[in-house]
Structure 1
Amino acid sequence: MKRTNQSSPLSGAIFLFRAKRLDRMKVIVWDGTGLVMTYKRIDGAGFVWPQINDGVVTINRSQFEALFESSDWQRVVPRHVRKPVAV
């Protein structure tokens, strides 16, 4: 498998691993000094997971935060901020 910059832990990508029961996840992220792993389990029905294509899920930061908090990540709309233009 050819490794791309996005599949490198040092690229800033966040790696999520879910359990078969959908109520547990592991998160691996590089914090600048080393890899950090977080484990989260929720009671009830479990997390609502995004569609997986070829083993990869692409969501933005706001959607990830909602997923991690077991909120409805699908209702999160990213805010688009215009860059200032020189006058």
Structure 2
Amino acid sequence: MLQLTPQMRIYLAVQPVDFRCGIDGLARICRRTLDTDPFSGVLFVFRNRRGTALKILIYDGQGFWLCMKRFSKGKLSWWPDRTDPICHLTVSKLHILLWNGNPESVVIPADFREVA
């Protein structure tokens, strides 16, 4: 089972990717474009060119998980516009993004104490 916890590191790939890519193709993008080890346990979030779907890739120690969400109606309402290849997200902001919200416009209370 895949569980999102506050301790997770979440990297959002800013540039859209070809969604014909499977696990190996996305792991290659992690290595070459994002300069990150796909076996590190980081949760990677990718979007397609049209902004109608998201893919999540994560390695759990025994194998890769590849999850996809295609929006039934419309496109993503928010995506970072940056020159950096990676944008860091918190779990709460990922939840907002998965519901097609704008994580930057929502006020989320600060954690009482940082989770290591």
TM-score between both structures, scaled by the size of structure 1 = 0.71
Mapping of residues 43-62 of structure 1, within 5 Å: 43-47=72-76, 48-62=78-92
Deviation at 1:70, TM superposition (A): 1.6
AA in 1 matched with 2:48: A
The one-letter code sitting in structure 2 at the alignment partner of 1:81 is F
> Deviation per CA, 1:29-58, whole angstroms, max 9, x where unpaired?
122321100011003331121233322122
Matched, 1:30 2:59: yes
Relative to structure 1, the CA distance from residue 43 to residue 55 in structure 2 (aligned partners, 3 Å threshold; closer, same or farther) is same
Cα 1:56–1:45 change in 2 (3 A) is same
**Identity level (%):** 28
Q: Which has the higher helix share?
A: 1
* TM-score (ref. length: structure 2): 0.56
- Unaligned segments of structure 1, at least 5 residues: none
Measured after TM superposition, the shift of residue 79 of structure 1 is 2.6
Aligned residues: 79
CA 1:13/1:78 → structure 2, altered by over 3 Å: closer, same or farther? farther
- How far 1:19 moved relative to its partner? 0.8
**What residue number does 1:79 align with?**
110
Contact kept? 2:38, 2:59, Cα under 8 Å: yes
Alignment RMSD (CA, Å): 2.3
Query: Do 1:62 and 1:76's aligned partners in 2 also have CA atoms closer than 8 Å?
Result: no
Displacement of 1:76: 4.6
CA distance in 2, matches of 1:50, 1:76: 17
Q: Which runs of 5+ in 2 are unaligned?
A: 1-30
